[in-house]
């Protein structure tokens, strides 16, 4: 009866822990609160930022910029925006005037750029307003000012957290199992020593 009660308790714990981890993961992935960022009046590459970097971050995902430049601004079809690629023909790629003009008018690849795909005007989204473009430029400038690169998007951070939590739970389970086996052998040896 005691063994059966112990098995039920172990089964309950074995089910409860993964359920708690899954619920935590779901709640973490469901949270979409934006990361704290500077307002439009924060210092940029050349003085004040041209727009609101928080709005620019939202636009970056919604307008499809991430399709070419990567969700973490690390590049792909288009060049990386954090750290921003420095083309030989561009003295300061973080100059807000250059960024606004490039987003507004697009950019044709030049010899030595390493990219052959042209950037369409407004990234192919004709609905972008002048304010939207200033916000996107502010977002790019701000992300390049963060030490160590851009922060991970919330979804990626949640996935990494879940992976490490699961690895920790797995490691703790293995250690617990090994200690339980050692204790059972120790108890068996003590019982054998008493019976002698």
Report how far apart, in Å, the C-alpha atoms of 166 and of each of 24, 41, 149 are.
12, 42, 27
**138: CB partners within 8 A, 6+ apart:** 40, 44, 49, 50, 51, 52, 53, 56, 96
Give the tens place of pLDDT for each residue, 36-68.
443 333 343 445 889 999 999 999 988 889 888
Give the tens place of pLDDT for each residue, 80-139.
888 888 888 888 999 999 999 999 999 888 877 777 888 999 988 889 999 999 999 999
**In this model, does residue 179 exceed pLDDT 80?**
yes
Which has more confidence, 100 or 10?
A: 100
**In this model, does residue 32 exceed pLDDT 80?**
no
End-to-end CA distance of the chain: 28
Distance CA 47, CA 96 (A): 10
Residue 35 pLDDT level (bands cut at 50, 70, 90): very low
Q: What is the pLDDT of residue 2?
A: 55
Distance CA 158, CA 179 (A): 31
């Amino acid at each position: 009866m005691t063994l059966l009660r112990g098995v039920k308790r172990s089964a309950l714990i074995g089910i409860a822990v993964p359920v708690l981890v899954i619920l935590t993961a779901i709640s973490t992935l469901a949270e979409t609160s934006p990361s704290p960022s500077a307002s439009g009046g924060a210092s940029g590459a050349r003085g004040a930022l041209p727009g609101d970097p928080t709005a620019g971050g939202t636009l970056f995902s919604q307008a499809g910029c991430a399709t070419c430049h990567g969700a973490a601004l690390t590049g792909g079809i288009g060049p990386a925006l954090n750290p921003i690629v420095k083309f030989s023909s561009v003295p300061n790629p973080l100059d807000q005037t250059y960024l606004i003009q490039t987003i507004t008018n697009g950019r044709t690849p030049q010899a030595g750029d390493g990219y052959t795909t042209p950037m369409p005007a407004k990234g192919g989204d004709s609905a972008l307003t002048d304010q939207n473009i200033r916000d996107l430029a502010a977002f790019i400038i701000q992300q390049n000012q963060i030490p160590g690169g851009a922060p991970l998007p919330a979804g990626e951070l949640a996935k990494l957290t879940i992976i490490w939590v699961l690895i920790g739970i797995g490691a703790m389970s293995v250690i617990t199992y090994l200690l339980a086996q050692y204790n059972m052998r120790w108890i068996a040896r003590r019982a054998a020593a008493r019976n002698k």
